[in-house]
Amino acid sequence: MEELYVKQKMFSMSGKFTVKDIDQKDVYRVAGSFMQVPKTYTIEDSVGHEVAIITKKLFSFLPTFYVDVAGQEQVTIQKQFTFLKARYTIHAAGMEVSGNWWDMDFEVLQHGEVVGRVAKKWFEWGDSYRIQVVKEEMETLMVALVVAIDCVQSDQSAATSVM
């Protein structure tokens, strides 16, 4: 089982951060678009090859993201309308993401089988996550899921702080 760590810098306007392995070596680089519509995130491997692009859908009732993995696979991540428990659906991959009602811990299932887990680390500056990848071929998609779900949480936090 592979473990990866995401650490976003607090107050970073550019939306750039890295994903590291257990030895603190950079595995992926993530760059978010700044002041661009629609919002996009590009994920590159450690040598700079683009491995995924995440695009937030402009006009939708619930947050929706399109993910291109390795330039070919189109996956749609959509938050479902629920009251107590955060639930995300991944269309076209037979996958589902479920988490506790705090939206801080996620289990990623494919056809009912756990393929990965994500846990937010508490008491740190910025958002930090631990990603456990059970199936190696799901690694890039797991990183993309964390980026998309974190974007939903950030948008919701920003919206509630304005009210």
Question: For residue range 36-67, what is the model confidence (pLDDT) as tens digits?
Answer: 788 889 999 999 999 999 998 888 788 888 88
3-state helix/strand/coil string of the chain: CEEEEEECCCCCCCCEEEEEECCCCEEEEEEECCCCCCCEEEEEECCCCEEEEEEECCCCCCCEEEEEECCCEEEEEEECCCCCCCEEEEECCCEEEEECCCCCEEEEEECCEEEEEEEEECCCCCCEEEEEECCHHHHHHHHHHHHHHHHHHHHHHHHHHHC
pLDDT digits (tens, 9 = 90+) for 75-107: 888 888 777 666 777 887 678 777 774 567 888
pLDDT confidence of residue 123: 64
Mean pLDDT (the chain) is 81
Domain range annotation of the chain = 2-162
Condensed to tens digits (0 to 9), the pLDDT of residues 13-41 reads 457 889 999 999 999 999 988 777 888 89
pLDDT score of 117? 93
Look up the CATH architecture of domain 2-162: Beta Barrel (2.40)
